[in-house]
Amino acid sequence: MDYFLELFLGGLTRGSIYALIALGYTMVYGIIQLINFAHGEIYMIGAFTALIVASILTLLGWNQVAIILIASLVAVVYSSAYGFTIEKVAYKPLRHAPRLSALISAIGMSLFLQNYVLLAQTSDFLPFPSLIPDFNFLKNYEHIVRSSEIVIYATTAIVMVLLTFMIKFTKMGKAMRATAQDREMAMLVGVDVNRVISVTFIIGSATAALGGVLIASHIGQINFYIGFIAGIKAFVAAVLGGIGSMPGAVLGSLVLGWTESFFTGYVSSDYEDVFAFLFLVFILIFRPAGILGRSDTDKV
């Protein structure tokens, strides 16, 4: 039973991190109907930013709680600036171009950011300090769940609640929903569509960066390539749940995380990625729009 619970919580950890990235994918797709394939690199840049800030603050003798909070805040702000810049550089000039052009631009931006970090840092894995303190109430359960995992669960839940509240009850959220439903009509009624798109990229980048900081602190190492793998899996999770649906992104992420965890634990870790993608294909055969996605129907 302990082993099953360990796998369940491990899958929940994976799924929570995938969800923080997948939310950015699904928000951007919902607004502009395009996939930001540079999104995974924002996750990676957030982790590297936190590592640099944490290293400086550690040398200055700051305490552990202050380090994780400040490092996370700086990583979120810095990565959000990257997300804002990517939208202005790679997407806005191609907003009325064929979708393939924007897709190629996003892939190019992803490769650029990977190699930029590779040249600025190193190709080797770098150790990442464990910034999250141990909780005393988990002392007898550390073989099953760690304090860093509890923080990941709580952070993902809080982010989901805040995003849901923002989209349903704030003026910006209403503008996002209007833009997603009909961009031209939203412009006609006075919605600043350019601002809405920029804010969407900023929010998506912030959640991805937060995920990068948390998982790096949990695992204890990072390198320049972690964004590509995590980004692809988060994209798979968003498609699995129903691209464009926020609850679908979270559900798809959790399903993917648990699928990988249980397959690794009970079958083999060598083929966990293969099984995850086969599971995606299986789901999409029966639910082409994803678990919570809705198929678009053409009106005649």
C-alpha to C-alpha distance for 255 and 12, rounded to whole angstroms: 9
Q: Is the confidence at residue 296, as pLDDT, over 70?
A: no
Q: What is the mean pLDDT of residues 82-100?
A: 86
- Residue 7 contacts residue 263 (beta carbons within 8 Å): no
Q: What is the mean pLDDT of residues 174-189?
A: 88
Q: Residue 294: its pLDDT value, please?
A: 67
C-alpha to C-alpha distance for 106 and 111, rounded to whole angstroms: 9
193-231 confidence digits (pLDDT tens): 999 999 999 999 999 999 999 999 889 889 988 888 888
Higher pLDDT, 60 or 137: 60
Question: Which pTM does this prediction carry?
Answer: 0.89
- Residue 246 contacts residue 26 (beta carbons within 8 Å): yes
Q: What is the mean pLDDT of residues 177-184?
A: 87
13-65 confidence digits (pLDDT tens): 999 999 999 998 888 888 888 888 888 899 999 999 999 999 999 999 888 88
Q: Residue 3: its pLDDT value, please?
A: 83
Domains and CATH numbers, the chain: 2-286 (1.10.3470)
Tokens of 166: 């923002």
